[in-house]
Amino acid sequence: MRPSATSNSPSEDPSLVEAPILHVDLDAFFASVEILDDPRLVGRPVAVGGAGERGVIASASYEARRYGVRSAMASVTALRRCPGLIILPGRFERYEELSAQFHGLIGELTSRYEPLGLDEAFCDLRGLQRHGVRPVPAAHELAERIRSVMSLECGVGVARNKLFAKLASREAKSKVLAGRLVPGPGVFYVDPGTETRWLAELPVRALWGVGPATAAKLDQLGLGFVRDLARVSEADLSAHLGSAMASTLVSFARGEDPREVLSDRPVKSLGHEQTFGRSLVGSDVLDAARTHAGVLARTLRERGLLARTLSVIVRYDERDEVRRSQTLAFGLDDEEALYALAEALLGSVDLARSVRLLGLHASSLLLRGQSQIQLRLDVDDAEAAAPPGAASSAQDAQVEREALRDAVDEIRRRFGQGALTRVSELGTALARQRGAHAFGPSRAR
């Protein structure tokens, strides 16, 4: 697989009809924004995250990655690998501002785009074919526009479906190999004619939804690469991974991904919000989130819907508000799972301040039954629903807990977790000057 040439004439461009999906992903977003806003950081190893004993890295610059620093890594480990690492607390207001600008630039290309967190989006260019828009050149132009307007780098994947587009954007980015930075092509086109051969050679953990817990389980089964999945039947895989994950992985291994780019998500959402009579602080906010998760789960179930995106909204007494959201590879309608995700999202929100409103919103909704991608933790329900002879529902619940743990890890990787950052531990005067938000309940000052 090589990056596509863009010199084809329109009539010859194979991406025109067959590969209309783009996945755009900003490079090392939080860390890049910090470097953008403070030129003194250029060329230095920079990370955003919690600097305290229990802190976790949310984003690391390429310079930091050269030392082996990765997102989701404990900050203590990161500092051991890179003693000169500058760990900055996150400034989510600033990230949200740039995220809106990023989505705005994508919106100039097409209205059919689906944001995935702050720094990623899918686009569907099928409707633009008749206007002569070709996906690969459009991807190059979009990357160039983001670079010139925002001074940020991104990777763009161009492919037939979301699965391949997301895998391709990673290939488009620069990589660190053996401590050296290897520049990426910026745009990576997956040729539909050879896509399954390319996919077969990727490690299973490259697949969306396969986090460390699921990857470890697959590894125990001797299934380290996507090609290995072709050797096992879905029934065998179900016995080990549960039916939802097994059917998802079998589809992915064949290169199948029926998910559409959902550009109309804001309309299709369900939510539960409450303004409190007396403002809440700390664990009382989490207790309220649990109640909200119960209400939301009931509403989803009543309507036969599953949610793939969960958002939390926190409004403070001072009227400013914070939103966090995460989109998953699978759908949920389960109270316990919704709460686990809400709690992880709230881990990067300052709950030491007085909270007057808490909202939980579900979007990217799927009809239950139409989706093979469903996660359920409710063992009683699963037992009732399981046909005779199905794999043990207790075991299903266990593997689904692992998938949920991966999803929670993913949230912590994106936003950092509730690590109480004390600015004195940051060790840099730089961090103090910025007056930014710490990760977690304590406020940086």
Instruction: Determine contact, residues 156/169, Cβ cutoff 8 Å.
Output: yes
Q: Give the angle 46-409-260 at the CA atoms, nearest 5°.
A: 100
Among 225, 245, 264, CA closest to 374: 245
Single out the segment in contact with Mg ion by CB under 5 A; choices: 25-33, 169-177, 317-325, 384-392. Answer: 25-33
- Nearest distance in Å: CB 88, Mg ion: 17
Q: Which residues contact 313 (CB under 8 A, 6 or more apart)?
A: 273, 321, 322, 323, 357, 358, 359, 360, 361
The alpha carbons of the chain give a radius of gyration, in whole angstroms, of 22
Interacting positions 220-249 with Mg ion (CB under 5 A): none
Query: What tokens appear for 323 in the block?
Result: 């939103």
Q: Which residues contact 67 (CB under 8 A, 6 or more apart)?
A: 45, 81, 82, 85, 179
- Nearest distance in Å: CB 379, Mg ion: 36
Q: Judged by CB, which is closer to Mg ion: 71, or 75? A: 71
- Nearest distance in Å: CB 217, Mg ion: 26
Residue given tokens 């994106």 in the structure block? 414
Q: Judged by CB, which is closer to Mg ion: 63, or 400? A: 63
Distance (Å, whole) CA 176 – CA 178 = 7
Q: Judged by CB, which is closer to Mg ion: 229, or 407? A: 407
CA 182 to chain centre: 24
Q: Judged by CB, which is closer to Mg ion: 58, or 351? A: 58
Among 153, 243, 216, 125, CA closest to 409: 216
Q: Judged by CB, which is closer to Mg ion: 29, or 92? A: 29
Single out the segment in contact with Mg ion by CB under 5 A; choices: 20-28, 93-101, 386-394, 414-422. Answer: 20-28
- Nearest distance in Å: CB 25, Mg ion: 4
Single out the segment in contact with Mg ion by CB under 5 A; choices: 93-101, 112-120, 137-145, 167-175. Answer: 112-120
C-alpha distances in Å from residue 360, one per residue of 45, 82, 273, 323, 343: 36, 38, 6, 10, 11
- Nearest distance in Å: CB 401, Mg ion: 27
Single out the segment in contact with Mg ion by CB under 5 A; choices: 59-67, 115-123, 279-287, 292-300. Answer: 115-123
Single out the segment in contact with Mg ion by CB under 5 A; choices: 27-35, 140-148, 231-239, 357-365. Answer: 27-35
Instruction: Determine contact, residues 139/158, Cβ cutoff 8 Å.
Output: yes
Q: Judged by CB, which is closer to Mg ion: 29, or 67? A: 29
Quickly count: other Cβ atoms within 10 Å of residue 320's Cβ.
10
Told to check if 335 binds Mg ion by CB under 5 A, we report no
Query: Of 13, 34, 114, 119, which lies in the binding site for Mg ion, with binding defined by CB under 5 A?
Result: 119
> How many residues form the binding site for Mg ion (CB under 5 A)?
4
Q: Judged by CB, which is closer to Mg ion: 26, or 351? A: 26
- SS3 state at 295: helix
Q: Does the annotation mark 97 as catalytic?
A: no
- Nearest distance in Å: CB 155, Mg ion: 8
Q: Which residues contact 330 (CB under 8 A, 6 or more apart)?
A: 209, 244, 245, 248, 308, 371, 373, 374, 375, 403
Q: Give the angle 400-406-68 at the CA atoms, nearest 5°.
A: 155
Catalytic residue among 34, 63, 120, 402: 120
Query: Of 13, 25, 114, 333, which lies in the binding site for Mg ion, with binding defined by CB under 5 A?
Result: 25
Single out the segment in contact with Mg ion by CB under 5 A; choices: 119-127, 375-383, 391-399, 412-420. Answer: 119-127
Quickly count: other Cβ atoms within 10 Å of residue 26's Cβ.
25
Q: Judged by CB, which is closer to Mg ion: 119, or 191? A: 119
- Nearest distance in Å: CB 177, Mg ion: 19
- SS3 letters across 357-401: EEEEEEEEEEECCCCCCEECCCHHHHHHHCCCCCCCHHHHHHHHH
- Nearest distance in Å: CB 173, Mg ion: 8
Binding site residues, Mg ion, CB under 5 A = 25-26, 29, 119
Which sequence positions are flagged as catalytic? 120
